[in-house]
Amino acid sequence: MIKGIAASAGVSVSKVFKLQHPVVNIEKREANVEEEIKKLQDAIVATQKDIEAIKANAVGRLADEELAIFDAHLMVTQDPEFIGQIEEQIKNDSVNAEYAVHEVSSMFIGMFESMEDPYFRERAADIKDVTYRMQTHILGLIIPDLTTINEEVVIVAEDLTPSDTAQLNRQFVKGFATEIGGRTSHSAIMARSLEIPAVVGAGSLLDKCEHGDSIILDAIDGAIIFKPTEAQIAEYTAKGEAFAAHKESLKALKDAESVTTDGHHVELAGNIGTPNDVEGVVNNGGEGVGLYRTEFLYMDASELPNEEDQYNAYKTVLENMAPGRVVVRTLDIGGDKELSYLKFPHEMNPFLGYRAIRLCLDRTDIFRVQLRALLRASVHGKLSIMFPMIATIQEFRDAKALFLEEKKNLTKEGVAVSDDIELGMMVEIPAAAILADQFAKEADFFSIGTNDLIQYSMAADRMNEKVSYLYQPYNPSILRLVKMTIDGAHKEGKWCGMCGEMAGDEKAIPLLLGLGLDEFSMSASSILEARRIIRDLSFAEMQELANTALNMSTTEEVLELLAKHVA
């Protein structure tokens, strides 16, 4: 058994399709300049045709932002700086085209890979993908065509490029296993979007199997077995069937109420990063969107998105989620999230620095554009807006004042805006949790951001492995902050949700329910399981459980309590 990272859940028992790309041997040769330029130009045209064909084949199967990868690839083939430098090298050194492509692309790839910004590191992957294609055309090599697969297989490869993944046909491709890659690599993200089981980063695989070998892909626990025994085949077939049956049984809860055995209702919502994610929330029975992280709109662009582009994105989300509520979080940039086109001075403690609402209240030019776009979109559904990283009442008042100013401006311009937009805030700084009863007099709702609330309460960087032992959602101190926030909201008749990862944690749900949380927002794929758990619990019993937990002294005690009382 070979272990890897489970990147997209499922189990497949099938046959190996070995995807090995031809090796391009690059040697420097002296060559005829005109011939090489011609080869280069032909290769560019052929590469563009390939990319267009792959994209056309993927339309309807991949989301728009994934299709955009192919536009990025086309742009590489049209980039005057990139292509110009290759031509220069051929002319100046009288060298062969594939060598010139190799030299120039290596320079660009090295430059992009050395940048910290993930946006630029992705550009390095784009250039690699495109130059490989160009070189195979120059050398007359053939890349295996995944679109011709017409029997059930599991693909085994060193890695899958985005273009490989886009060509996968779900009817025949029952999964893939790769030697390299992680949960957030492009191919893993696409596998989840296509719902194809995938195990990535499994180490050497290609030298352990032959084309057509039987294979078990366990993308629940991250394992691969080549040439399994009859007993293993039976065991994993059963595991796959159980997984499919569980998934299928949860579907019955798609339209069920999120209600406890004693009649207490809560709302289950989804977290999204792009308008395309709404579909997953709806398909998984989400009652609304509890967190729309709008920063991705800014991070996926090469400049600040204008009012029109933002309006369109917000309108799409609102329309597709209607009549359900959509909680849009205003720009939360800074900390670990940077914008390549908006540089700020380096900070010693970026998580404690110039970020989120602090930045927006300073750069009101940026903030106002977003508020206007949101206000204009508000007529297309049920919009709630929340501000991230609120620490003081004054910050909330300032943000609200800007919102009201833009509302007035738009009304004066004759633009229709909704009159019942809720204005709330994230509670992710302990100061806000402690003063929740005061904040609740001004905010319409709270959403607890435990990802940050825990790091700020424990003074433990959420990105730092060395202090990850302090990242304790079940620590009674965190539970008390959550309780104070919920009680503060309820005292003023306001609702309180949670959009941090803790809200979708199966173990935490009974406690959060008992603490009185009104809304749970999580990744779409967790919603149905959360509903199943809630429907099996008694609210009165969970209130008692939560009370006991609040009076414990350690995380371990709370976990023990949960293990004892919740199945």
Angle at 207 between CA 204 and CA 211, to 5 degrees: 120
Determine, following the binding rule CB under 5 A, whether residue 449 of this chain makes contact with Mg ion. Answer: yes
Find the part of the chain contacting ligand PEP (CB under 6 A) among 52-60, 75-83, 449-457, 470-478: 449-457
The one among 499, 517, 524, 537 contacting ligand PEP by CB under 6 A: 499
Write the CA distances from 403 to 273, 361, 424, 557, integer angstroms: 22, 11, 12, 45
Residue 401 CB neighbours (<10 A):
11
Asked if 316 touches ligand PEP (CB under 6 A), the answer is: no
Which of 418, 451, 477, 543 touches ligand PEP (CB under 6 A)?
Answer: 451
H helices within 388-448, ranges in order?
393-412, 430-434, 436-439
Minimum distance from residue 252 beta carbon to ligand PEP (Å): 29
Give the full edge-to-edge strand order of the sheet including 198-200: 2-3, 223-226, 214-218, 11-19, 153-157, 173-178, 198-200, 5-8
Q: Which range in 41-49, 131-139, 169-177, 446-454 contacts ligand PEP by CB under 6 A?
A: 446-454
Q: How far is the CB of 471 from ligand PEP (least distance, A)?
A: 12
Which stretches within 5-117 are classed as H helix? 33-58, 64-78, 80-93, 97-113
Largest alpha-carbon pair distance within the chain? 83
What's the residue count for the chain? 567
Residue with tokens 């086109």, as numbered in its chain: 341
Provide the minimum distance between the beta carbon of 452 and ligand PEP in the complex, in angstroms, as a whole number. Answer: 3
**CB-based contact 326:288 (threshold 8 Å):** yes
CB under 6 A: which stretch of 55-63, 140-148, 279-287, 445-453 binds ligand PEP? 445-453
* CB nearer ligand PEP, residue 283 or residue 451: 451
Q: Which of 203-211, 226-234, 340-348, 424-432 is the region at the interface with Mg ion (rule: CB under 5 A)?
A: 424-432
The residue (of 287 and 428) whose beta carbon lies closer to Mg ion is 428
The residues annotated as belonging to the active site are 186, 499
Closer to ligand PEP by Cβ: residue 216 or 266? 266
Q: Is the dihedral of CA 302, 426, 396, 347 positive or negative?
A: negative
Binding mask 428-447 toward Mg ion (x if CB under 5 A, else -) reads: x-------------------
Tell the smallest beta-carbon distance from residue 115 to Mg ion (Å).
24
Cβ neighbours for 352, distance < 8 A, ≥ 6 positions apart: none
**DSSP state at residue 143:** -
User: With binding defined as CB under 5 A, does residue 452 bind Mg ion?
Assistant: yes
Instruction: State in angstroms the smallest separation of the CB of 141 from ligand PEP.
Output: 44
With contacts defined by CB under 6 A, name the span among 17-25, 254-262, 394-402, 450-458 that binds ligand PEP.
450-458
Question: 377 exposed, middle or buried (CB, 10 Å; 0-12, 13-18, 19+)?
Answer: buried
| Shortest Å distance, C-beta 428 to ligand PEP | 5
Q: Closest approach of Cβ 90 to ligand PEP, in Å?
A: 47
* CB 83 to Mg ion: min, Å: 42
Which residues are paired to 447 by β-bridges?
426, 497
- What does 500 bind: ligand PEP, Mg ion, none (CB cut-off 5 to 8 Å by kind)? ligand PEP
Segment lying near ligand PEP (by CB under 6 A), choices 400-408, 443-451, 472-480, 558-566: 443-451
Query: Does residue number 428 form part of the binding site for ligand PEP (CB under 6 A)?
Result: yes
Distance CA 503, CA 520 (A): 5
187 within 8 A of 200, measured Cβ to Cβ: yes
Q: Considering beta carbons, is residue 236 or 292 the nearer one to ligand PEP?
A: 292
Asked whether position 452 contacts ligand PEP by CB under 6 A, the answer is yes
Assess contact for 393 and 358: CB atoms under 8 A: no
Between residues 144 and 350, which has the closer beta carbon with respect to ligand PEP?
350
Nearer to Mg ion, 130 or 508 (CB): 508
Selected from 181, 449, 488, 510, the binder of ligand PEP by CB under 6 A is 449
By the rule CB under 6 A, 277 interacts with ligand PEP: no
Q: Does 293 bind ligand PEP (CB under 6 A)?
A: yes
Using CB under 6 A, which of 285, 500, 504, 514 touches ligand PEP?
A: 500
Q: Which residues of 288-312 are buried (b: 16+ CB within 10 A; e: fewer)?
A: bbbbbbbbbbbbeeeebbeeeebbe
Burial group, residue 535, by CB count within 10 angstroms (0-12, 13-18, 19+): middle
Helices (DSSP H) in 140-214: which residue ranges?
162-167, 186-194
The token pair that represents 345 in the structure block: 């001075």
Binding site for Mg ion (CB under 5 A): 428, 449, 452
Binding site for ligand PEP (CB under 6 A): 291, 293, 332, 428, 449-452, 499-500
